[in-house]
Structure formats: C-alpha cells, structure tokens
C-alpha cells in the first residue's frame, strides 16, 4: 500500500512539474513614434507567474484566465508593479510616465499595454527593467525598441538591470 501511495505521489509531482514552464522570460516591445512624441509598450509575461506575484505582493486576487476585465484595485496593482519595475528616463533623466491602456490573454501569457506621452524629443533613453526579478533568479527580460526604421534589442537580467541607449 505504501508503494502504491508513493508511486501515486511521484506521478502527481512529475505531472505538475511537466505543466510548469522551465524558463522565466518577459518581452517588452517599445514603439517610439517620433512624429507624435509617444511611446507605446506591450509587455508579455507568463500570466501564472505574474498573477502569483501580484496576488502576493499587493494582496490582490488577479486571475487572467477567468476574467475579461480588471477591477480598479487590480489595475492599480498591475500599473504600480510595472511602473516600479520598468522605468524609462529621457536624456535629461526625467521619468517617463506609463499609462495602462489594456491587456489580453494569449495561450499561457498575458500582454499588458501601456503608452507614454513625451514632453521632449528623445535623444537617448535609459531603461531599467527588473520585471519578475524579485521572483526568479534566472529571469531574463528582453526589450525590443522600434523607432522609425531602427530596431534594437536589449537583454536584462539579475546582473544587468539598466542601460542607456543613444537614439
């Protein structure tokens, strides 16, 4: 009987581990629209990890797979976390304010959408990206910056959390 129980526990643990994803990555697409002075951001995360983080850190029950709109508290928690962990500064080291515009679920991921109105034209940009680094030591955060005909990619992790790029 103990052998059957032990085998059952091993099977359950193995199945649970096979459902978990083995990588921890986020992707941020940044579109700088120089004509209008706007930056549009789309941030892709595994929604189970992000839900857990928001639920724990802000005591907010967030369930992307079971809802189609966020409460004010949920939206505030998501915005506060992203604004505190994805920081953009202009050439004068002035903080660029991010405004939450929406979200959508795609498979096991959630896309979070933000935009920012710039006060001046960007000549350089400083990006700090610590998204999910407080949860996973092996987290990798990719940022893809689009500006006119230029596309530039950056990688952030536990060692590299900030960089400045001349446009």
9 domain-assigned:
no
Beta bridge partners of 163: 127
Q: What local confidence, expressed as pLDDT, does residue 20 receive?
A: 67
12 domain-assigned:
no
Mean pLDDT computed over every residue of the chain:
87
Q: Are the CB atoms for 105 and 46 separated by under 8 Å?
A: no
Percent of the chain with pLDDT over 70: 88
1 domain-assigned:
no
- Structural domains in the chain (count): 1
Structural domain range at position 78 = 21-166
Confidence of residue 120 (pLDDT cuts 50, 70, 90): confident
Query: pLDDT tens digits, residue range 16-29?
Result: 333 467 899 999 99
34 domain-assigned:
yes
5 domain-assigned:
no
Alpha helices in the chain (DSSP H): 2-19, 47-58, 72-85
Higher local confidence (pLDDT), 46 or 8? 46
């Amino acid at each position: 009987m103990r052998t059957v129980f032990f085998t059952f526990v091993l099977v359950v643990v193995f199945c649970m581990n096979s459902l978990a994803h083995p990588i921890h990555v986020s992707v941020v697409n940044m579109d700088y629209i120089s004509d209008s002075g706007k930056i549009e951001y789309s941030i892709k995360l595994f929604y189970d990890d992000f839900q857990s983080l928001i639920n724990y850190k802000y005591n907010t029950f967030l369930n992307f797979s079971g809802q189609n709109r966020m409460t004010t508290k949920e939206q505030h928690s998501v915005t506060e976390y992203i604004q505190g962990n994805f920081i953009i500064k202009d050439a004068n080291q002035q903080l660029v304010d991010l405004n939450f515009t929406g979200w959508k679920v795609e498979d096991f991921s959630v896309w979070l959408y933000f935009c920012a109105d710039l006060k001046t034209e960007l000549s350089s940009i400083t990006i700090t990206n610590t998204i999910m680094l407080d949860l996973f030591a092996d987290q990798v955060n990719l940022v893809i910056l689009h500006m006119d005909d230029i596309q530039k990619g950056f990688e952030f992790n536990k060692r590299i959390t900030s960089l400045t790029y001349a446009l």
